[in-house]
Structure 1
Amino acid sequence: DGTCYFDEKLVDAHGHKGPLSASASIVRGITALAAVSSENLNLPGEKVLGLAKFFLGIGIPGSAKDLYYQIDALSCLESIRGSVPLILSLPATVLSVTKKDQLKVKVSTVLGSAAPPLSVKLMQIFVSGSKDASVIDQKLKFDPENSVHVLETLPTNVDVGNYIFSFEIIFDEPEHKNKYATGGRTRVPIHVTGVIKIDSAEIAILENDLGSVETQKKLDLPGESAVALSANHLQKLRLSFRLTTPSGQVFKPHQAFLKLKHDSGVEHIFVVANSGKKFEIILDFLGLVDKFFYLSGTYDLQLTVGDSVMENSFLQPLGHIELDLPEAPEKAARPPPQPVDMYSRYGPKAEISHIFRVPEKRPPRELSLAFFGLVILPFFGFLAGLFHLRANLKNFPKSIHATFAILFHLGIAAVLSLYALFWFKLDLFTTLKTLGLLGIFLMFVGHKTLSHLASTSAKLKTT
């Protein structure tokens, strides 16, 4: 088994195998038997084609081993004697009647090799969800440059909708029937889309008793419509429009809803029903006051029309209507609580702009420097006085004790500098923490200095 060499070591070569490896082993065995057998195995074409579609329908497997099994099985099916499967595929299964797309069919082997000379016929067309079928029996034109069979125009009975096309492969040379397997007719789902025409769209306010039109306005669908209506609980709202396919047939979309949304967030959705040749909905506000929770005020109108084959599906605001409903009785139902917008609740909040006090105007720089000079002038006077009075420094410690004395005075200077930094820059906590460390240092060097002075004074008194 070639997959045993994907790993560095040969382990579990005969262990458990998945469905892909088991199916590939069966295909490999059938191919080997057909190669050594002198007689034709007469394999059913639909079975061989089913195996080919199984391996092609897997796509790209999730592991290298499964990819090996897939490619190995497809290569065996490519070379099986007497039953080489031919795959009929469509480059596009969505066709637009508005754009006049062409139906293209490609026939090839499982690995994409060219098929023998053949032709493709469109035999039948089924409407999805119905057993009715149209017999076409039309041969597709072969395009040798792109190797595809082309149906230039769709049959006239094909309109917007979902269909199932039935194709049949016919060989140009009869002996190819014994070499290739086609599996009979091939059915392919086709989605035919188009632009739906919307006309006769109007919205009106009717009198409840007489049914006469009080207010009527035309709508541009899809487009920009902004109507402003008003009604009370004794009147009705009517909305109607027509939908037609490009061929002029009545179109019934999968979705057609009218939504009314109150200013408080309460929404009401109504299905717009098909009444023959047009879609129409009539809202009798007298019978809807309970459903509307007796909420008067402005209701936004929104129309939704959509279908998978409708190229111009739309969700369009129509405007608003002012409803004047009676007061709610005591036992009337309350509007349901509206869900909280998660973005407004957990999203980023608005930035808070702080307004700080405008700093007071500072004096001129020259005045500040003059004041600083006057403040430090007494210090220089103090130094001059010490020099003039010839201060006695004979008792200043000497030798190693002089070091502690100098450190003590430097510590005092550091504490004064710390006070200055606290005034200009530092905060209280930083100042107290630093002052604590300096205090411990001053206690140590101060104790050493004072002990030396005390011992020196005691010696002088004894002598």
Structure 2
Amino acid sequence: MRILCLFALFSVGVALTPTSYLTSVDQNRFKSVFLSSSESSDLVTIHYSLAGLGVLGATPINNARTCQNIKDSVDPSSLSTLYHVVSAASYLTDCKVDISSGLDLLKDAINPASPIIDMFHAFFALKKSGNSVDEAALIPALIESLKKDDLPASHGYAFLVAAELGGNVAKLYDSIEDIVAQADEVDEKYLQFEGGLYVTSLVVDGAYKLAEKLNKAPLISEDKVVKFANYFLSRKHVHQVKTASQLLSVVKTLTTNPFHVPVAITRASSVAVSPVTPNVQVRVTNLMGAVLEKPINVVADSARHMTDDAVVLSKKTFTPSASDRTLFELNFMQAKPTRGFYKIVVSATPSEADGRLLGLTGAEVQVKVTIQVSIENVEIGVADKDQTTVARTTKLQHPNKAANALEADYHQKILMKFQLKDKSSGQLMTAHQAFVRLTNLNTKQEIIFVTEADNTKINKFDLDIGSGAKDFGHLSGRYSMELIIGDAIIENPFSWHLADLVLTFPESTAPKKTVLDQYAPKPIIKHEFKAPEKRPAMVVSTIFTVLVAVPLLILFILWARLGVNISNFPMSISAVGFHVCLAGIFGFYFLYWHSLNMFQTLRYVGLLSIPTFLFGNRLLSSIAAQRKK
């Protein structure tokens, strides 16, 4: 139980470390997207592309043309347009926009009845344009509006507004904890809100900016901060301008705020290490890929083989790079690790205590120890299936090919064996991929077989020519024989042409199948109705018809005895038409029984049902009107 608890704690610790950061490649990609979007004619795209460039410290290509596009987009009747116009212009030098005609609209939007996003647009449009804002009225208006709209996005907008206000915004600050509690956890590594990347980054960005305004750490636990950071970085390949801009904003906030700064510890070197390249490099940065403010010490807490869980090193210190303060290096091969994959647990400790830094322990980097292999004791030969004679084998040296072709018929079999050896340790080993490929030199048809290794790690290949004739299509002739060796940890995989084979297969007794052209037209599929079942004898049908008609005959007899009164029958077009149509429908039912098929009957009855409905509706309306009179 104690071991399980320790394992659980270790697993949680591993999950609570940032797994990536915004590399220079990522930032350049964002920059190119924003630069191309800044020349758009769409106001919203211009705004967020300029905001993204502002985070990256870049400027648009054509300041004057961009400014003119912004001025051409002014619409004094739209809150959002005024907000985007003023915000976009604020990122440009010498770009003044006139929104005086929309000031009344902006000021009227600051009231409890307005949606949060309208107050957000109005506030920043007024503030960035240099106009006064009634902050005393804005704070209670935000709080009151949030009672009706408590979605995370609305709180994110409210946090950003409150971060710019000078009044008492403690109530909004206190709601940060409740809103963060609404985030959904994914795979125990990520936290996100239902609205996706934009909403999540909006809330976290606003929460930290509001907390910084009050100089109080936001009520977000450290593990949740790291999970939010992991979510943001998992979506760093987003290309939507609005979302990318907000993503950069929140990542920048998580690197500059005075409360929580997640630290990314990632592998910077190749995943493969070997005696030639023995060093493992890790990079320790903030989420923007920048060096941390204070020097740090980096230690490999442990390195475990991922197959047998063997620990090969513990508490080994990385050496700082002289040319790059974010890089740290460890000679992993000094621990004499065997070949295979390893998981290194890394921790970092600042030279001076810094409570802001998160994710300093439990970071994992994976490496694989690769080797070069040699192939030895290679023998290839031909033997009789019944083993009445000694196999004729030939020893080969890689990469030489057998001097003479091997001939074998269906009474014989091909034998081959070899050993793989780790060049560095001299130990015998097996490879994940050890195949023999036979290729017909005329048709280029390939057949691949898997070699099998025994307990002594001798790889063997045994091909019975007679039994394998079907696999070759009984196609006798000359074949090339190649040995293919490969593995994720082998540095020198190879394909070796061992020899040429002349194989003779028995003639096939099975009839040859006609080769069909797969691109030829397929036969037309015609639907056929099920053949009707055999009808009963005429006597049976006649008796049944008479029995069905008897009730109708009784009805007519009773009408005659009781006296039928048809004087009330309304002599109108609707009455006559309805009864004629109804009789026609019953007539088609009779024809369906006698001669028509289902589709013909449905077509005729469907057409007749339209006048039946119209005449019937008119008839019933007239009867109802007469009764009222």
| TM value normalised by structure 1 | 0.64
Conserved 8 A contact 2:347-2:360 = no
Q: Once the two structures are aligned, what percentage of the paired residues are identical?
A: 22
**C-alpha separation in 1, matches of 2:275 and 2:514:** 46
Q: Does 1:273 align with 2:452?
A: yes
Conserved 8 A contact 2:466-2:506 = no
Output the amino acid matched with 1:290: K
Q: Matches of residues 71-110 of structure 1 in structure 2 within 5 Å?
A: 71-110=248-287
Output the amino acid matched with 1:126: R
Which residue of the partner structure matches residue 201 of structure 2?
A: 24
Q: Does 1:170 align with 2:349?
A: yes
1:237 is displaced (CA, Å) by 1.2
Secondary structure at the aligned position of 1:93 is classed as coil
Q: Matches of residues 213-228 of structure 1 in structure 2 within 5 Å?
A: 213-222=390-399, 227-228=404-405
Which residue of the partner structure matches residue 318 of structure 2?
A: 140
Which of 349, 352, 358 matches 1:181? Answer: 358
Conserved 8 A contact 1:49-1:183 = no
Secondary structure at the aligned position of 2:200 is classed as helix
Query: Which string of whole-angstrom CA distances, capped at 9 and with x for unpartnered residues, describes residues 208-227 of structure 1?
Result: 22375443223343565665
Structure 1 pair 104/254, CA: closer, same or farther in 2 (3 Å)? same
Structure 2: stretches of 5+ with no match in the other structure = 1-42, 50-69, 74-79, 85-116, 119-152, 154-193, 520-629
Conserved 8 A contact 2:434-2:483 = yes
Conserved 8 A contact 1:95-1:102 = no
**What's the C-alpha RMSD, in Å, of the aligned pairs?**
3.4
1:80 is displaced (CA, Å) by 2.4
Which of 217, 227, 230 matches 2:407? Answer: 230
Conserved 8 A contact 1:94-1:193 = no
Which residue of the partner structure matches residue 328 of structure 1?
A: 508
Secondary structure at the aligned position of 1:287 is classed as coil
Query: Which string of whole-angstrom CA distances, capped at 9 and with x for unpartnered residues, describes residues 246-269 of structure 1?
Result: 333444323221122233444321
Which residue of the partner structure matches residue 283 of structure 1?
A: 463
Which of 249, 255, 259 matches 2:437? Answer: 259
Conserved 8 A contact 2:207-2:218 = no
Query: Mean alpha-carbon deviation: is it higher for 229-238 or for 282-291?
Result: 282-291
Q: Does 1:119 align with 2:297?
A: yes
Query: Which string of whole-angstrom CA distances, capped at 9 and with x for unpartnered residues, describes residues 142-195 of structure 1?
Result: 23432222112425352332222211122333x21x121125301122233332
Conserved 8 A contact 2:420-2:428 = yes
Bigger fraction of residues in helix: 2
Structure 1 pair 266/93, CA: closer, same or farther in 2 (3 Å)? closer
Q: Matches of residues 325-404 of structure 1 in structure 2 within 5 Å?
A: 325-329=505-509, 331=510
Structure 1 pair 103/323, CA: closer, same or farther in 2 (3 Å)? same
1:244 is displaced (CA, Å) by 2.5
Which of 377, 381, 386 matches 1:204? Answer: 381
Secondary structure at the aligned position of 2:479 is classed as strand
| TM value normalised by structure 2 | 0.48
| Equivalent residue pairs, number | 337
**C-alpha separation in 1, matches of 2:370 and 2:517:** 38
Which residue of the partner structure matches residue 54 of structure 1?
A: 231
Query: Mean alpha-carbon deviation: is it higher for 212-221 or for 251-260?
Result: 212-221
Secondary structure at the aligned position of 1:78 is classed as helix
Which residue of the partner structure matches residue 472 of structure 2?
A: 292
**C-alpha separation in 1, matches of 2:449 and 2:219:** 61
**C-alpha separation in 2, matches of 1:240 and 1:275:** 11
Bigger fraction of residues in strand: 1
1:81 is displaced (CA, Å) by 2.4
1:332 is displaced (CA, Å) by 6.5
Output the amino acid matched with 1:103: V
Larger radius of gyration: 1
**C-alpha separation in 2, matches of 1:338 and 1:152:** 61
Secondary structure at the aligned position of 1:159 is classed as coil
**C-alpha separation in 2, matches of 1:242 and 1:113:** 50
1:321 is displaced (CA, Å) by 0.8
1:129 is displaced (CA, Å) by 5.5
1:271 is displaced (CA, Å) by 0.6
Q: Does 1:161 align with 2:356?
A: no
Conserved 8 A contact 1:169-1:185 = no
Q: Does 1:313 align with 2:490?
A: no
Output the amino acid matched with 1:151: L
Which residue of the partner structure matches residue 5 of structure 1?
A: 47
**C-alpha separation in 2, matches of 1:257 and 1:337:** 32
Which residue of the partner structure matches residue 330 of structure 2?
A: 151
Query: Which string of whole-angstrom CA distances, capped at 9 and with x for unpartnered residues, describes residues 266-294 of structure 1?
Result: 43211112223222111122322333333
Secondary structure at the aligned position of 1:256 is classed as strand
Structure 1: stretches of 5+ with no match in the other structure = 341-463
Conserved 8 A contact 1:226-1:317 = no
**C-alpha separation in 2, matches of 1:188 and 1:81:** 28
Query: Which string of whole-angstrom CA distances, capped at 9 and with x for unpartnered residues, describes residues 410-435 of structure 1?
Result: xxxxxxxxxxxxxxxxxxxxxxxxxx
Secondary structure at the aligned position of 2:405 is classed as strand
**C-alpha separation in 1, matches of 2:303 and 2:514:** 51
